Structure 1
């Protein structure tokens, strides 16, 4: 399975004391994404605060998401563990509960070399038949993989089938497209360069934006794919300030604040992350008033 279109990222709602996951509210967030016409749902990425969840919480969110979506669209489960053993265990669990794709990040404390990264991905691939999305996001994972190296993994590792590129460097997407002759699907993980990425051949856009602005990202994707360049440009620049804001303010904090402003309270982010301050909330409120 290779993904295309808008891959929506739900936040993970917490209880009022932030000590547990609120699965009922997670269902409401998933409903918002489904209403926004996303083409797949990717739980437990950075927007879902996966790094701040215990193993039991991670499993609760993964299982609930798969069951709640119930085959309506594909479900991607993010795996970003420090050790290969942990990553393998999480990947096996994703397969057991019926996920469709694993989004695998080489999360690291020590700087990993390419041999170590390759071995990590290969071990996960050997543990489950699920397709693997190679996720390059050095700002959160501490590991930066070149287009050449990621394509080497796609070529040599059986289940590594697609790439999510989140560095914000459009040249990397051009390289992936050129070096693979357009045959390896890649997805954009950088919100504020969505238009450039889609025009560069990205098969999809991974974003939490539909949590707050409905199907506007989907409209942009469709306009690009239909060759409606002026419409696509208009749609993108309408969203641009908002897309940049939610990234620079922290995805979890921004999206959760936005949902609360829209009457969908899902709790705040988990410390050390902090909610948006009043100034940022007011700015977000103004942007949403213009967009929704």
Structure 2
């Protein structure tokens, strides 16, 4: 059974001016997402800037999210690391504070082998009892989960039930879907490729776009799953420009700027990320206005 079906938001972590977590605003964003039909909250992922969080803060943000959501939708915690030991420890802590599932990115920088990926996910799985979503994003990590490896892991490693596919390689996703034959759930990790992945049997999307249009992303996925392809296609295509603007600089720089424009207190991004350039602010502002959300 899927951890979730539909649109899960890869949620930002809002910061105060002193760079601490703005928990009050975080709670507001969580509530607004759920009120607008988001199907899952993915906390402390790339968009949540987990790579800049000390362990204590990382766990605190996950726990706050779990407590705030209070069972309304699944909470999936980002716990992957370039160090297997750290990924195991964080995964255990996320389970202890009540996360419903884990999103575990491939080890970054190390560039481990396919056998190394297998052992990495097995070590995490052996340490927890909640479902795990693998995260394939080679543009950030330098490592690709090959379709054959993903299927091997799904079949042989307990708890690994899904993959977030952000490789951008639709041919590889098609091969994965063919080899898997339903043994693994596939989520799009790219907002401009949701429908192609749904057409290959995907369960939904882990989305940045959902920050600015949660109801539309949810509706798009369910329109497709309900057989209303025309509506789903319309919702996907009319969002292409705003999706492009949300990735005009490295994520989460633009989406935090977008949330500030929409009246949230998202705050700044943490170093080494920098604020959105003035030129891109204008691009983003125009895209949000044209899309009808600003």
Q: Does TM, scored on the shorter chain, surpass 0.5?
A: yes
Cα shift at 1:189: 0.3
Cα shift at 1:74: 0.5
User: Cα distance 1:115–1:214, how it changes in 2: closer, same or farther (>3 A)?
Assistant: closer
1:126 matched to which residue of 2?
126
2:227 matched to which residue of 1?
227
2:28 matched to which residue of 1?
28
CA distance in 2, matches of 1:220, 1:274: 32
1:12 matched to which residue of 2?
13
CA distance in 2, matches of 1:225, 1:278: 39
CA distance in 2, matches of 1:201, 1:188: 11
2:38 matched to which residue of 1?
38
1:285 matched to which residue of 2?
285
2:188 matched to which residue of 1?
188
8 Å Cα contact 2:38/2:214 also seen in 1:
no
CA distance in 1, matches of 2:35, 2:275: 26
Cα shift at 1:167: 0.4
The Cα offsets for residues 225-269 of structure 1, whole Å up to 9 and x where unpaired, read as 122222222111110111122124222111111111111121011
RMSD of the alignment, in Å?
1.3
TM-score (normalizing by structure 1): 0.96
2:78 matched to which residue of 1?
78
Structure 1, unaligned runs of 5 or more: none
1:169 matched to which residue of 2?
169
Q: How does 1:40-55 map to 2 (within 5 A)?
A: 40-55=40-55
Cα shift at 1:32: 2.4
Cα shift at 1:82: 2.0
Cα shift at 1:147: 0.9
8 Å Cα contact 1:135/1:164 also seen in 2:
yes
TM-score (normalizing by structure 2): 0.95
8 Å Cα contact 2:245/2:287 also seen in 1:
no
Structure 2, unaligned runs of 5 or more: none
Cα shift at 1:102: 0.6
Cα shift at 1:100: 0.6
Secondary structure of 1:251's match? Answer: coil
CA distance in 1, matches of 2:7, 2:33: 10
Cα shift at 1:159: 1.1
User: Cα distance 1:156–1:183, how it changes in 2: closer, same or farther (>3 A)?
Assistant: closer
Secondary structure of 1:215's match? Answer: helix
1:137 matched to which residue of 2?
137
